[in-house]
Chain A
Amino acid sequence: MKRLQLQRWSSSVLSPQARAGSRLPRRIQHGLRYQSTNPFPVTDAEAEQLFEEEPSRSSIRPSQISKHALPSPPVEAARESAKLAALHARLYLPSRLPLETLGRTLVDESADPNANFNNESLATLGHDLLTQYTSEYLICTYPRLPMTVIFAAMYAYVGPKTLAAMTNEWGVELAAAPGGEVDPGHLQFRRLAPGTNPNETPMRTDRRWEEQTWRRSVTSKVVNDNVFGDPVRASVNPKLLAKAAAKNTAGVSAEEASAQFVRAVVGAIYLHAGRPAAKRFFEQHFLSRHLNISDLFNFSEPARDLARLCARESFEPPVAKVLSETGRLSRHPVFVVGIFSGKDKLGEGAGSSLLEARSRASVAALKAWYLYSPMNVRLPNSMEEDGAAPWKPVHVDLGEVIV
């Protein structure tokens, strides 16, 4: 199995100079001071390559500039912030993750549009890691989950609402407004202008036909949408995006900024402390949270689904039988109905009418099928470790029945 190299990944995220470059430009730049977490500052030439549009907005900021003029706190401030050091210790982050990087994870893109100082790149990496680990865990532990429920479970584990709650539980405070003079221990982002509806985002996708109210299938979601089953934003020319960001017109909601921060922390741990540390961080902070997956199902016609499922798996067709009942002619009757396929009882439910009891029993049978979980499941990411045992394929089922 091919392994990704840390250095190769981190180079693209951290800085264009993280690759072992020539020593000469480093020497030349040595006299200047930079606001950057990079050990090696970006040279002028490379900065111009990155920002062809605006060469003046390079990453170089001599320290003569007043910190009130900076969009985000200077890097030197990270060492003096008590909040940042406390956050580092509170999360038990490895000492290899410097305070400066932790400070950078707290600067949202809306606060500082410069990609070398905001958490955008770290958050992108962190989001990919989080979604990969979560989806591996879900699909291997519950191999028969329907796709829509996987989307919902992904949203519950690493969705923006959960990440925002985690930011709160980590004790991170939000800055009222971003700026260079703000304590770097605060989460900094530009807030939405009053009166804007945060849910009313322009959802222009690349697929025009889906902007109409046509029915979108699960397959289309799997192929085209993001990990939560939401439509992906239309791809915009990055140059236009940079221009829009430079104007600093748009703010983000606190939930979105908090989510970006948590993702950036995961990405930073991956880059600085390595893959095992990132995995452990994921297990301890994300997988240890409580989620009852059987609460995520919403059946519209369970009896029909169960019949289709039995037909697909070539079981005998399901038959509902009354197991016990009380007070049929009274005001509060209770029926207990079992669903049988041949001699096997698939599920059982109680209800105040025969139909209700039957549908409850069907739901119980369907959940029992979908929530099957094999024992001692091994996740594919365990193969990334050195000296891992040879991989045995895990069982992944077909998923939901198609009606």
Chain B
Amino acid sequence: MTKQWAGIAAFAALAASVPFFLGDNPYIADILITMLMMASLASAWNIVGGYAGQFSFGHAAYFGTGAYTTSILLTTSGIALPLCIGAGILAASLIALLTGAIVFRLRGHYFALASIAVAEIVRLTAHNLEITGGAQGLLITDITFGNLDLNSKEPFYFAMLFLLVTTLAISLLVRHSRAGYFLLAIREDQDAAASLGINLYLWKNMALIVSAALATVAGSIYAIYIRFIDTSAVLSLRLSIEIILTTIIGGVGTLWGPVLGAALLVSLAEALRTNLAGELLVNSGIITEASPIESFLKNNLAHAHVLVYGIITVLCILNLPKGILGLFRRKQRT
């Protein structure tokens, strides 16, 4: 466990020094912020999905609730930024409590379907209300916090990094606490865990609330960073599924799996979006700029990253159920 703490500290130190090497490069900074955000979300999901084994298919609901609560309070009232984020956490925790009361009575397929239904109700509600801007979305203008320059990327990089490190630290604490062992017992065999006197309902809800609160903060930071939110960006089923895929591909139930998954998937999406493969082929002289392969790659690959996610997911489930991290683990053991 000390090794793991040292790992988190080393990661924090390394990541915190990155901006000083990069200097002022908004493009790279944007990719890194997205990576840190997905890593935080996947790590937060991992607490309830990985440790407790409760595959929530509705985590976008918490991310979105955080984004909307913070944005609405910021634009309509004079409340200070940290309090707005706090309010977001409170709102999402309430939704988590309500969700837990419904979905944790169910298991297997029924649990997965119920978690989607709850998240869809949240999405449709935000879509139909007026205070959320409905289908038009919400624009967040004129915000200040202390003397931070909220138009630069740096504060958001450090905020997301702080969130990720906090999430990792909480994951590690939970994993090695009494509660963590309860969660693992629930994941392995709910009935056996219950017969040993573990209160399933209580511990599943605890895991969900911690996980939801962390996802909420990611949503709040995202909203202030992007300055515009709508339901398809922050509350969609697609986002919930992307969070799960990130964790599964990296390694579910492990500390670093979600971080690895986020690093891989976000860079992959970016490489496809910018047609990295085409550029490499052109630069290495294999094809010319005018070749039909280049134009095919250029025109199609930009939208192909979700397709590639799908292919990776299918390959992972069929061949590597423990994710990419599991690949190394297995090799170590043999």
A binds B: no
